[in-house]
Structure 1
């Protein structure tokens, strides 16, 4: 049975995009299939999707060999639209009503699990920060962000986009920008370009305590990134802390490698 066009689904459910929810819908089936493929083989994997909207990416994920797809949605209109797919995929699709920022997604699906999502612009970074702390619980994450956020995730030390997000990502995942998505591909088009980032967790993950320490250090260091580290890290020990681990107190945060932040966190 042919699937109803996504524009018809949007019209039938009154699914006009809402800025407050960061909604921009992708409607091209071929593009949505490409995004699903960024995750690699999903055979036997339980996939979590956040913000399915009218269900376009959900359709693409159900067309893979994924063991199941769990779609988390906060918008009642989109919940109804995605739930239409249950008629043909009741055994593999689950639609969860709720805010992904308040849900531990690892409780929704068994391992092996993956996250594949076109994330809402207004909450994507906050979601990613949480998932990076749980990176070992996922096989892969394929996530769409504003292009600037994608650059912040993959940024190397010394670059303009290097900061807390890049440090945490480097310590927990291998990260690449897998594909760019132009604004014109969305309905309605956002004011920025987008990109899909592929994140593959490291086999060995830092301890929760170490990640918490790195978070404290990077928050202080990048919170005042124009200052020398002796000033920006003053509340954590300043020059004495830096000298204890052999880092020049006159350096600035963007010059430190992720391993340097690990040394500082371990010294706290």
Structure 2
């Protein structure tokens, strides 16, 4: 488990490209035959990837968590961005095809990941937050998730926003998670930008061709910076930062939020003229 610490926005304004990438960009998240996790001190979120092939993979507690098992004080969201797979939770199996999401509540001790076909493995994206009570393990398919059509052709941001884990869907203690799919020939997401000072957010960008990039913008609205992001890389966004991006090709991203406020609409809009 890799550890990432929090950052003061005043200090952030002095960072160069390498420091920004080291602090906020997560690369090589999906490693064949392994579970990789990153612990962020931003609202104590854990991000991870699991790519099982010939053998199942188990999500184990790390010394940094100071617990006997991973979900002793946590909840978990899992999205399969690869081929068909299976997640077992305390002996009960859930089939997850591409785009399916599984919520796993506090107190479940045994989490295992498998691929249906080792030649075409599943890729499980993992987001975990701290939890104070137990909600039932629940699967949600992209075809049954709340979906919202957003954006316009003129602004190059036509997209479909799917909500998986949220107050009006699959309930959790604090984790909110969903997926946004940009339509062909559309590149911008979440612009005009916003912040939500009571919640951090993480983005996983995927569905990009190998030679394409996303330019992810972050920082205080009046002093922004950017990250150049490749396919299947994730970005940690502190609560004081905007989080928006534009790609050289359309793409999909999974957004996940954690923090004090559990209301999806709680955000502070930033006017275009106030961006710097």
TM-score, scaled to structure 2: 0.32
Larger Rg: 1
Q: Identify which of structures 1 and 2 has the higher relative contact order when contacts are C-alpha pairs closer than 8 Å and 6+ apart.
A: 2
Is the helix fraction higher in 1 or 2? 1
